[in-house]
Amino acid sequence: MISKACVAATYQVKLAEIARCPDVELHVVVPPYWREGRSRLWLERAHVRGYQMHVAPLALNGQFHLHFYPTLGRLMRQIAPDIVHIDEEPYNLATWQAMRLARRAGAQALFFTWQNLLRRYAWPFSALERYNYAQAAYAIAGNAEAEQVLRAKGYRGPVEVLPQFGVDPEIYRPAEGPATNDVLTIGYVGRLVPEKGVDLLLRAAAGLGGEWRLRIIGDGPERAALQGLAAELGLGERVEWVARVPFAQVPAEMARLDVLALPSRTRPNWKEQFGRVLVEAMSCEVPVIGSDSGEIPHVLGETGLVFPEGDAAALGRCLELVRDEPNRRGRWGRPGRQRVLERYTQAHVAQRTCAIYGRMREARQG
């Protein structure tokens, strides 16, 4: 597997689970770090048992679509893989590089995609995409609409709809102690950007009666504007702004909420691809509310509340339902955790990934 995402320790849990599958010898190629703007996400080594990790230099580090691995050819010859799992979009240079090297090595290859908007790319990305569609033996789509995009753009091979990573239910677990707070605690966790719809949450909360407080955990370019809106709406001390929470503390922060909201709104160049905070909150038995942007309704199923994106009044009515339900964790929280255990754990994602490898082998042999 080739994955820059797996520099993060939390994502390495899936690798360890894949390595436990019968008849799988796993090698993972990761860079020493991934650059995000001016910061670097350095490789963590937390869940590395059962498989071999190869740290390889990355050219054009930080360029999502143009990065590649200069030493990947040598690694391919050393490992001699049967299957090459490329954890990148099909229009990326790294995918094209790995796909060509896999073909040269006589290996089958698959790629991953989140892209749920039908977009046409200029050369050379369009050419990279066409080549990868033609050469791939399999594709994994992170959401249902991503599969539709693949088909609309001409990919004809087999596809599995499966998120890139799951959650660890032993880390994201229900809080110990009282099931609810004395005051209804509404939470948002994520980037403060227009497409996440935090302004809608503020407007919805402003019309909510009774006692409540809102914890907004995250940072981003909209922070000052959102704080200004909160003041304009007269929310005052009811809103708590938490810019930074250490990653290890996020599960505890999540578990203390009475409800988590993700009011995403679709933009011409963006649609909610999954909403990872939803399954994290669900795993903590926290009721969740989400808009109908992208994959959110599919993630929630019947275990959460869904409202039309952009509709602050509808979001407010969802908040009222949660506020007025004394057994809110029993009604929405526990079914949500059960849905995570059945569909969205790291172990479940790993098992389904291994099943894909098995089908690829069978197709080649048959």
Query: What CATH number has the domain bearing residue 27?
Result: 3.40.50.2000
Question: Token digits for 251?
Answer: 């599960």
Q: Is 162 a member of any domain?
A: yes
Q: CA dist 120 to 45, 123, 125, 130, 220, Å?
A: 38, 10, 9, 11, 29
CA separation for the pair 317, 307 (Å, rounded): 9
Provide φ and ψ at 140, rounded to 5°: -115, 125
The string over 3-37, giving b where at least 16 C-beta atoms fall within 10 Å of a residue's C-beta and e elsewhere, is bbbbbbebbbbbbbbbbebeebebbbbbbebbbee
The string over 265-304, giving b where at least 16 C-beta atoms fall within 10 Å of a residue's C-beta and e elsewhere, is bbeeebbbbbbbbbbbbbbbbbbbbbbbbbbbeebbeebb
pLDDT at res. 236: 87
231 and 143 in a common domain:
no
Q: Is 251 a member of any domain?
A: yes
CA separation for the pair 42, 124 (Å, rounded): 30
- Asked whether the beta carbons of 234 and 205 are under 8 A apart, the reply is no
Contacts of 233 (CB under 8 A, 6+ apart): 202, 203, 206
pLDDT at res. 278: 98
Per-residue pLDDT of the chain (366 residues; tens, 9 = 90+): 999 999 999 899 999 999 999 999 999 999 999 998 888 999 999 889 999 999 999 999 999 999 999 999 999 999 999 999 999 999 999 999 999 999 999 999 999 999 999 999 999 999 999 999 999 999 999 999 999 999 999 999 999 999 999 999 999 999 887 666 789 999 999 999 999 999 999 999 999 999 999 999 999 999 999 999 999 999 989 999 998 888 889 999 999 999 999 999 999 999 999 999 999 999 999 999 999 999 999 999 999 999 999 999 999 999 999 999 989 999 999 999 999 999 999 999 999 999 999 999 999 987
245 and 101 in a common domain:
no
Provide the number of structural domains found in the chain. 2
pLDDT at res. 177: 73
pLDDT at res. 179: 62
SS3 assignment, position 187: strand
Q: CA dist 25 to 22, 28, 44, 56, 126, Å?
A: 9, 10, 21, 19, 33
Pick the closest to residue 286 from 254, 250, 326 (CA basis): 254
> Which residues constitute the domain of residue 231?
184-343
Start-to-end CA span in the chain (Å): 24
193 and 107 in a common domain:
no
- Asked whether the beta carbons of 357 and 81 are under 8 A apart, the reply is no
Q: Is 258 a member of any domain?
A: yes
SS3 assignment, position 221: coil
Residue written as token pair 């809106």: 229
232 and 189 in a common domain:
yes
Question: Token digits for 359?
Answer: 């089908």
DSSP letter for 331, please.
I
349 and 321 in a common domain:
no
pLDDT at res. 190: 95
The string over 115-128, giving b where at least 16 C-beta atoms fall within 10 Å of a residue's C-beta and e elsewhere, is bbeeeeeeeebeeb
- Asked whether the beta carbons of 89 and 115 are under 8 A apart, the reply is yes
Helix (H) or strand (E) holding 276: helix 276-283
pLDDT at res. 182: 82
Q: Is 324 a member of any domain?
A: yes
Q: Is 174 a member of any domain?
A: no
137 and 32 in a common domain:
yes
- Asked whether the beta carbons of 337 and 169 are under 8 A apart, the reply is yes
Q: Is 66 a member of any domain?
A: yes
308 and 269 in a common domain:
yes
205 and 139 in a common domain:
no
Helix (H) or strand (E) holding 212: strand 212-217
Report the relative pairing of strands 33-36 and 27-30 from DSSP bridges.
unpaired
Global confidence as pTM: 0.92
116 and 201 in a common domain:
no
353 and 338 in a common domain:
no
195 and 162 in a common domain:
no
CA triplet 1, 33, 46: central angle to 5 degrees? 70
Q: Is 177 a member of any domain?
A: no
Q: Is 321 a member of any domain?
A: yes
pLDDT at res. 181: 76
261 and 159 in a common domain:
no
pLDDT at res. 313: 97
CA separation for the pair 265, 228 (Å, rounded): 20
